[in-house]
Structure 1
């Protein structure tokens, strides 16, 4: 059955700004020994197999080799605790790649699914600021970047023509807060690192 999701997303990783993984289509080495990235999604409107999933949130954490195109990703999926059983199952199919669409295109790169959990997820868009809190394990806030010559109210800088599951055009952002703890044995503080934000529109 056809499905569709529309909403906004944010991303935070341990690379410097701008991330070489993003700008190379996953073929350039990350800035550090491994690439660790959190994607958070807010679904403004969506229907999966007849189930309305509007207003729900999902987060995906990826721990990948330095060259992401090499595969062997370890992935954790977090589903919104406010979703009922049918919504959680529907979102799980999409974000685990079982229902086709952009996430399915990435499944050949995944070596291990660490787990799929239902946790409270708070997601916020506020102008150039975007934030997500995933249970008590991930806490991220990013700010879309403006060239200093234009001042605080200038246009946000973007990357275009990207190979990326969320959108081919991404805002360039920097994390003001990017912390994780207890993510299947992983803890970090990537504050000040790379970030992106964009609307997304998926269907299959």
Structure 2
């Protein structure tokens, strides 16, 4: 059966600015010895088979080697506590890559699944500032970067990326604290991306 979800996403990693991993298709190394990243996906509308999944949020936390294409990722998944068992199963299939789509391409790179936790997820996005709080594990706020030389005020965009969307807004984290799945890090002031996304398989 087919599925389709769309919404908004943002991420924060410990690269300094405009992460080379994402912008190189995982072929250039991160700025540091490990890539520590958290991603939040809010599904504004979507259906997996006959299960409606609109309004739910999923979080991903990962620890990877600097050259992400080498694999060996350690990854954990947060599921919105507002999801019913059927919705959690449907979104779990999508975000684990078991249902195909963009996450399936990352599957071979994951060496260790650190777990799946159900938590209260609060997600907010005003188009420029993006915030998520996942239980006591993640407290993250990022802001898209607008160059002082940009007369349009539209902000810095990176195109041709492909995952999780073709064009990402570049930014920085104004608040970043993660303590989840045995990983603890703070990436305040470090790289962020945000974008609308639309996936199907």
Length-normalised TM-score, structure 2: 0.97
For 2:88, the equivalent position in structure 1 comes to 88
1:187 & 1:100 partners in 2: Cα distance? 30
Q: Distance in 2 between matches of 1:56 and 1:37?
A: 21
Structure 2 counterparts to residues 91-130 of structure 1, below 5 A: 91-130=91-130
User: Could you give the per-residue CA deviations for residues 109-152 of structure 1, whole angstroms, max 9, x where no partner exists?
Assistant: 0101110111111111013100111111111111011111237x
Q: Which moved more, 1:50-59 or 1:155-164?
A: 155-164
Measure, in 1, the Cα distance between the counterparts of 2:17 and 2:68.
17
Look up the match of 1:60.
60
Give CA deviations for 1:25-77 in whole Å, capped at 9, x if unaligned.
11111111101111100000000121000000000111101110000101100
Kindly state the Cα deviation for residue 163 of structure 1 after the two structures are TM-superposed.
3.5
Q: Which runs of 5+ in 1 are unaligned?
A: none
Give the corresponding residue for 1:188.
Answer: 185
- The residue aligned with 1:157 is 156
Separation (CA, whole Å) in 2 of partners of 1:98 and 1:51: 16
Match for residue 43 of structure 2?
43
* d(CA) in 1 for partners of 2:149, 2:195: 23
Q: Deviations over 1:134-176 (max 9, x none)?
A: 111111111011111237x711110001132x10100011110
2:169 to 171, 177, 183: 171
Looking at structure 1, the residues matched to 127 and 106 of structure 2 have their Cα atoms a distance apart, in angstroms, of 30
Aligned Cα RMSD in Å? 1.1
Runs of 4+ more than 6 Å apart: none
Q: Which runs of 5+ in 2 are unaligned?
A: none
